[in-house]
Amino acid sequence: MLRQLKARFGGPVAMAIVGLLCIWLIAMVVLPQLQMIDYSLRPNLLPDEVGGPRDHWSLTNYATLFDNRIHLAIFFKTLWSSVLVTVLTLLVSYPIAYYLAKIATPGQAALCLLLLIIPFWINEILRTFSWFIILAFRGPLNEVLLTLGLIERPVRFLNGDAGVLVGMVYAYILFMIFPLYNAIESLDGNQVRAAHDLGAGTVRTHWRIVIPHAKPGIATGCIMTFMLAAGSYAVPALLGSPGSRWFTQIIYNWFFEGGDWNQGAAYAFLLLVLCIGFMSLVMRLFKVGLADIAK
């Protein structure tokens, strides 16, 4: 990368860019994570006990999760639900991305992208709250379904995880569409036409031609969507029921309601490890590297 920057901007500018990037990574990523790890390994002590004989590293905070069956169940439920959000977002985004990249005219593609982007000019909390209104027991969706005679009584869409899943798919759909769009757009259309000429149907063409070519985009979209879903707080807090808590809500409670930053840091670090593990699994599954994803 440094060599490419030197060729484009010259030596001094390239060194300045790399230097600023390293400073940003160290100050904003590395040091906060190291501090979080340090917090997670120490007990929650009173100010006058800090530095005393009880102030030492241990794995007690991490063991708390595995000793608490409720928190452990919420942890695995967050893992499964985040995977489900990722799969649903991929299923919704793939046809849209393919249409924008290979079927729509430039004008149609620009209009569709504009319609997709405009709602995201609004704050995420406001967008999530709009889904709370739509899915409410006496909200517009229930009124439409009642008017059409599709249901006999209002449905409690927000009772369980359904509202959270819908809200998350909507909230993170662009993070799946854009990587897919960029990957599919680079596919030579002659390959698709050749597959059709040789007798391949639509499903087989996508399975054998389009999807293998779009693997970096699929991997990038899945990684971004999963990490955002697993780390989301606003969507489950607004659209979830009391029985559909997210692991991030437990972390929030440890930090800001329980006042135990050390325990919260341990839970947050476990969530980070989960996200890194998922990222590694996706990269291995799709046989792509960081260089492929960065494209």
CA separation, residue 189 to residues 23, 152, 197, 203 (Å): 43, 48, 12, 16
> CB within 8 A of 65, min separation 6: which ones?
71, 72, 75, 266, 267, 270
Tell me the average pLDDT across 73-83: 92
CATH number attached to the domain at 64-294: 1.10.3720.10
Q: Is 158 within 8 Å of 136 (Cβ atoms)? A: yes
| Percentage, residues of the chain above pLDDT 70 | 95
Q: Is the pLDDT of residue 293 over 70?
A: no
- pLDDT tens digits for 259-283? 889 999 999 999 999 988 998 888 8
Residue 52: pLDDT band (50, 70, 90) is confident
Q: Is the pLDDT of residue 110 over 70?
A: yes
Q: How many residues does the chain have?
A: 295
d(CA 111, CA 228): 26
Burial class for 35, CB neighbours closer than 10 Å (0-12, 13-18, 19+): exposed
Tokens of 51: 């530095």
Tell me the average pLDDT across 12-35: 85
3-state secondary structure 229-295: HHCCCHHHHHHCCCCCCCHHHHHHHHHHHCCCHHHHHHHHHHHHHHHHHHHHHHHHHHCCCHHHHHC
DSSP structure string for 171-231: HTSHHHHHHHHHHHHTS-HHHHHHHHHTT--HHHHIIIIIHHHTHHHHHHHHHHHHHHHHT
CA contacts within 13 A on the Cβ side of 111: 5
Range scoring the smallest mean pLDDT among 9-13, 74-78, 90-94, 264-268: 9-13
- pLDDT at residue 81, rounded to an integer: 92
Residue with the two structure tokens 């369980």: 160
Residue-range domain boundaries for the chain: 1-40, 64-294
d(CA 233, CA 124): 11
Q: Is 16 within 8 Å of 2 (Cβ atoms)? A: no
- pLDDT tens digits for 152-179? 888 888 887 888 999 999 999 999 999 9
